Amino acid sequence: MSRPAVIVAAAVLAFLVFAALFPGVIAPGDPLAIHPLDSFRAPSFAHPFGTDESGRDIFTRIIHGTGASLTIGLSATAIGVGLALILGLLSGLGPRWLDFGTTRFLEVLFAFPGLLLALLFIVIYGPGVVTSTIAVGLATAPGYARIIRSQVRVVRRAPYLEAALVLGRSPAHRLVRHLLPNVVGSLFVLVTLGIGQSIVWASSLSYLGLGAVPPAAEWGAMLSAGRTYLGSFWWMTFFPGLFIVLAAVGTTLLGRGIQQGTRLR
Amino acid sequence: MALPVAAAPPVRRGPLPWLLLRLGGVVFVLWAVATVTFFAIRLIPGDPAEAVLGGPGSQASAAALAQVRADYGLDLPLPLQYLHYLGRLAAGDLGRSYSLREPVGAVIGQNLGGTLLLALLSLLTAAVIALALAAWSTRGGRWASAVTWVLEVVSAALPHFWLAISLILLFSTTLGWLPPVSVPGPAGLVLPVLTLAIPLAGFLGQVMRESLLDALGSPFVLAARARGESEAGVFWRHALRHAAIPAIGLAGWAFGALISGAVVVETIFARPGIGRSLLSAVQLRDVPLVIGVVLVVALGYMLVTTLTDLADRLIDPRPAPTTAHRGRS
């Protein structure tokens, strides 16, 4: 176990959430204010992370972009888990033919591995923040769905569900009060791990110019803008990337830590 | 009957029925992937004939549009277009790229080798790193185990683009040891391979370590030690074989991760490959090229998962329980 690492991760995440809620407290400046005379300044005391091609302060932009970037990661995860919950419940609770059909459907989706499904979705609906968020959610859904399906199949045979049936509870009651809490509870760790992955994938898409568009103060969009200047002005891509890493590593460490903690008990 | 893939039979079938089932599954998934892609592409707003001629801005004449429709078979009714498409696919014809004006098969052929080389070298590097970390963490005591745990979790969460940028900044810009773009030859391969290998090693390491610990605490390792097997022998001959099974089960996932990573890595290092072709095809909405790459990747994925299932059957030291009962040799 690595308790210090997990505590550091929790602290980093708490900082990021604070920055997302109150960006003005940490970085009082305007993330969109341009100062052409101060363009491409290297990191210094006045500009800890340097400035970009329009002289905008990168530290301010990163802090103000936290909300947008975390929202994209959270929404993508929510879309993925939501879709997966529908598929997993259909497959785990439905009749055999429905389970067979859903499982085959998932196998077909698995044959579009990794970002492939997301890229296909973007070809159809065009690049942008909303499409790339949905695309990432869609690409992560099959993995969650498979786990939810197997979890549902374990829980549905549990004695407490049989007891609820014998007590004459309605199907809706059994689903909402007994089955879902037990399925969702085990999903918690998975979702914590998934948020980090979603942030990484969404920012990868932004970096490739398929997600959020540059003027916005969003981590992926800042990366994409800085890509042109990688050779000469490294701070434009390094620092936004560093925050993506902090968010991704933070959620992953926390998720793994919780996983180990619950397993030991 | 073409019963598809992961309908894992509860009993271990003999080799031939198993292979036939798997092949049937592969054909089914490929057909489904081709069909999903074909109809998904129809959802794209705008006229495909216009896309061939360079998008709505090209102001193509009616005659040119009609010509393109006839050339690409776009004037036929949709079910007929679908059948033509399946027929061409079955014959191995992936159509012509809109943006490169070349057969898609040729474009993929030119680019596939580079990506495969990159992916294989990365997989190998990742396996070596993961194995080293797993071995160290199981023998190095509590401290080593904690450090490798953090190392593995952190490296598994690193995004490819940031790793690539950091490696370029360190080894090219600051130290000047390696080129920042992928030049031909081994020097140009080091940074792209490391970028792909490090996160993968983190994932593999986590999986292998858990099963290594499982194996090292199990009766069969105790038995091997009791027989006087050396520590190295226990590790290499017994525990590692046990630990390889879950890692091999990850192969399909690892394939996806490598291909997705290749899109980013080939773009950053300006390295030719199907990842970069796919990205530029997505950006230019070059539909035939996107479909072609997607189909090739899906085929690769099915190949990898089938081969790993086969390897799993061969490596798994547990005896097949049912064959004797069913009277098959």
Question: What tokens does A92 get?
Answer: 């785990």
Residues 6+ apart with CB under 8 A from A182: A155, A158
List of chain A residues whose C-beta atoms are within 8 Å of the C-beta of residue B290: 119-120, 123
Which DSSP symbol is given to A157? T
Q: Which residues pair with A116 in a beta bridge?
A: none
In this complex, the residue of A108, A203, A252 whose CB is nearest that of residue B29 is: A108
In total, chain A counts a number of residues equal to: 265
Q: Are B252 and A110 in contact (CB under 8 A)?
A: yes
Q: B297 and A116: CB-CB below 8 Å?
A: yes
Domains and CATH numbers, chain B: 23-90 (no CATH), 105-315 (1.10.3720.10)
List of chain A residues whose C-beta atoms are within 8 Å of the C-beta of residue B282: 119, 122-123, 210
ipTM for the complex shown: 0.80
Which residue carries 């050339």 as its tokens? B71
- The packing angle between helices B240-249 and B187-216, to 10°, is 120
What pLDDT, in 10s, does the model give residues A237-260? 888 888 888 888 888 888 877 777
The model's pTM is 0.81
What pLDDT, in 10s, does the model give residues B266-283? 888 888 888 888 888 888
What pLDDT, in 10s, does the model give residues A128-184? 888 889 999 998 888 888 888 888 888 877 788 778 888 878 777 787 787 887 777
Q: CA-to-CA distance for B191 and B186, rounded, in angstroms?
A: 10
3-state secondary structure of B103: strand
Which DSSP symbol is given to B44? S
Q: CA-to-CA distance for B326 and A245, rounded, in angstroms?
A: 54
In this complex, the residue of A113, A203, A238 whose CB is nearest that of residue B159 is: A203
Residue of A nearest to B210 (CA): A260
Q: B160 and A204: CB-CB below 8 Å?
A: yes
- Closest of B305, B103, B38 to residue B111, by C-alpha: B103
- The rounded percent of chain A whose pLDDT value lies above 90 is 5
Q: B283 and A230: CB-CB below 8 Å?
A: no
Q: Which of residues 111-130 of A touch B (CB under 8 A)?
A: 111-116, 119-120, 122-125, 127
Q: B162 and A241: CB-CB below 8 Å?
A: yes
Q: B165 and A110: CB-CB below 8 Å?
A: no
pLDDT-based confidence at B54, cuts 50/70/90?
low
| H-helix segments, B91-218 | 104-139, 141-157, 160-167, 187-216
B289: buried, middle or exposed (CB in 10 Å: 19+, 13-18, 0-12)?
buried
Q: A123 and B44: CB-CB below 8 Å?
A: yes
Domains and CATH numbers, chain A: 3-264 (1.10.3720.10)
- Closest of A256, A237, A117, A113 to residue B156, by C-alpha: A256
Three-state secondary structure string covering B198-261: HHHHHHHHHHHHHHHHHHHCCHHHHHHHHCCCCHHHHHHHHHHHHHHHHHHHCHHHHHHHHHHH
A200 touches chain B (CB under 8 A): yes
